């Protein structure tokens, strides 16, 4: 028999979870109501001509915020990941080149979009990252424009170039694109959304008004997953559909390998069969890419799995090159009519990335972001194409800059082409110390000219190191200057499988 005291204890014990659930539900509803009120107040401070755009963006932010409140953590149950079906990822080498007479009609159905929202601050540069000179004084943007102009001239087509800017990069980009006016390229720009950062404790916006320029810290661009909504809102999606365009090729502006691939375009645009609505270019993982997003089959659909979605006890499994052979290059081919359909039905389901940041004054904020490739699962007929590594040449650090500036590549019509003298198709692994090489200006000052790295496998440089003219690096080279020491590699030095340490003692590796 249960006495009353025990009964109450049991009831009390049962009541806690439902009570805490109710509490959570109430606080969520509270947060939604309060956010709507805060955004209304912010909207009232917007300039009259910007009000419609700001209101549209705030509606997008509210939808994202509501999904964030409802989110029950990772949407991936590790045990339910299925083996990739045989036809899920096609090898690029199996694709055919289009017939010359098909090229004109095919390319006129294409739009090229470059994600141009990032700043060059991590590399010590001011303004958009796309204006950093990467080769022969040409910037990322110059090279992109050259590639598209070459395509348009060679095949007598009109492939438009579209730049998705952020509020951080738009003004500078607009000034720079004027210099391309007389080239055979139509350039369009649109801005991704501008969302308010929210206080981690109160979950409310930290901005007091809509004057973004005078309070940049209070706002953020919400990741490239915002492409779909902003592209539709800009009117460009409708414009290109009316022109009879069918596919958009999207890539990061800092990926110098992401050129228009004629055999992928042929697969999508010269087919009698139903072509996939979403194609993701993937490439083979190496040890340097273990954190990159990968393709999985889940609930019978192909989708992108990012490291942030992986349960902690499976992170090592995720990094396994054996289990997950490919990673996402963020070169995507997406059907324009499918984007229009999903946006109209509000059926685009993209996982939210919660990005925690601490501002200069010590305030903890969160940014709600999404990734453009994560939309894959919402489209019909997803496909991966395993492309050669040459289609993935991102420049995230000065280590990458060293590769693209070197004799590993030559420049042809805005595209980097691997030097035929290179024995391996893989690029060397280069690690330059953050303290002395992270900023572009300092990096450039440490090389009289870029070393010959045609036979290099691995380079690690740490500490105060400079390179003279005509240095040749081969095999594995490790150069480490101890704190307070400086190492000057003399002009004309040839280092092959060497460790250079402390006071310029050169040892066999």
The SS3 call for residue 318 is helix
Catalytically annotated residue among 28, 291, 396, 439: 396
Rounded Cα–Cα distance for residues 9 and 115 (Å): 58
Return all residues near 3 (Cβ < 8 A) that are at least 6 apart.
none
Q: Is 192 annotated as a binding residue?
A: yes
Rg over alpha carbons for the chain, rounded to the nearest Å, is 26
The SS3 call for residue 468 is coil
Q: Is 7 annotated as a binding residue?
A: no
- How many C-beta atoms surround the C-beta of residue 421 within 10 A? 9
Query: Both tokens of residue 293?
Result: 């997003």
Q: Is 225 annotated as a binding residue?
A: no
Query: Both tokens of residue 225?
Result: 């997953």
Nearest Cα to Cα of residue 376 among 23, 88, 39: 88
Return all residues near 36 (Cβ < 8 A) that are at least 6 apart.
62
Pairing of strands 161-165, 187-191: parallel
Query: Both tokens of residue 102?
Result: 């098909």
- How many C-beta atoms surround the C-beta of residue 263 within 10 A? 15
Residue 396 annotated to the active site: yes
The answer for 396, left when phi > 0, alpha when psi is -120 to 50, beta otherwise, is alpha
Q: Is 129 annotated as a binding residue?
A: yes
Query: Which segments are annotated as binding site for UTP?
Result: 129, 192, 223, 254, 396
- Catalytic residue IDs: 396
Q: Binding site for substrate: residue ranges?
A: 224
């Amino acid at each position: 028999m249960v006495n009353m005291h025990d009964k109450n204890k049991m009831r009390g014990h049962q009541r806690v979870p439902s009570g805490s659930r109710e509490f959570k539900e109430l606080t969520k509803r509270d947060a939604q109501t309060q956010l709507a009120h805060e955004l209304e107040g912010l909207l009232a401070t917007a300039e009259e001509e910007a009000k419609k755009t700001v209101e549209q963006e705030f509606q997008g932010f509210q939808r994202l915020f509501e999904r964030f409140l409802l989110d029950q953590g990772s949407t991936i149950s590790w045990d339910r990941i299925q083996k990739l079906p045989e036809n899920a990822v096609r090898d690029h080498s199996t694709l055919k080149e289009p017939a010359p007479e098909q090229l004109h009609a095919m390319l006129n159905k294409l739009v090229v979009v470059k994600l141009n929202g990032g700043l060059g601050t991590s590399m010590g540069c001011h303004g958009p990252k796309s204006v950093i000179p990467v080769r022969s004084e040409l910037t990322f943007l110059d090279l992109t424009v050259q590639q598209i102009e070459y395509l348009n001239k060679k095949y007598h087509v009109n492939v438009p170039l579209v730049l998705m800017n952020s509020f951080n990069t738009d003004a500078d980009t607009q000034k720079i694109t004027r210099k391309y006016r007389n080239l055979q390229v139509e350039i369009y720009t649109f801005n991704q959304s501008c969302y308010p950062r929210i206080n981690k404790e109160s979950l409310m916006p930290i901005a007091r008004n809509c004057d973004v320029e005078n309070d940049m810290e209070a706002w953020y661009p919400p990741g490239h997953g915002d492409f779909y909504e902003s592209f539709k809102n800009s009117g460009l999606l409708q414009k290109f559909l009316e022109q009879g365009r069918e596919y958009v090729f999207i890539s990061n502006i800092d990926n110098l390998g992401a050129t228009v691939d004629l055999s992928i375009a042929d697969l999508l645009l010269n087919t009698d069969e139903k072509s996939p609505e979403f194609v993701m270019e993937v490439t083979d993982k190496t040890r340097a890419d273990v954190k990159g997003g990968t393709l999985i089959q889940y609930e019978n659909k192909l989708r992108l799995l990012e490291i942030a979605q992986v349960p902690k006890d499976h992170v090592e499994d995720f990094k396994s090159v054996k289990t997950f052979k490919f990673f996402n290059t963020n070169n995507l081919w997406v059907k324009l009519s499918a984007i229009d359909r999903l946006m109209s039905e509000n059926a685009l389901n993209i996982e939210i990335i919660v990005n925690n940041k601490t501002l200069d004054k010590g305030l903890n904020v969160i940014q709600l972001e999404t990734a453009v490739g994560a939309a894959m699962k919402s489209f019909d007929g997803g496909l991966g194409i395993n492309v050669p590594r040459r289609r993935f040449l991102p420049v995230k650090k000065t280590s990458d800059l060293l590769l693209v500036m070197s004799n590993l590549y030559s420049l042809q019509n805005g595209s980097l082409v691997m030097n035929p003298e290179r024995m391996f198709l893989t690029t060397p692994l280069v690690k330059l110390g953050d303290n002395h090489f992270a900023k572009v200006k300092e990096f450039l000052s440490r090389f009289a000219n870029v070393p010959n790295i045609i036979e290099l496998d691995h380079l690690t440089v740490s500490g105060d190191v400079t390179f003279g003219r005509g240095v040749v690096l081969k095999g594995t080279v490790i150069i480490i200057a101890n704190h307070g020491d400086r190492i000057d590699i003399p002009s004309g030095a040839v280092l092959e499988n060497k460790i250079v340490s402390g006071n310029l003692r050169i040892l066999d590796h």
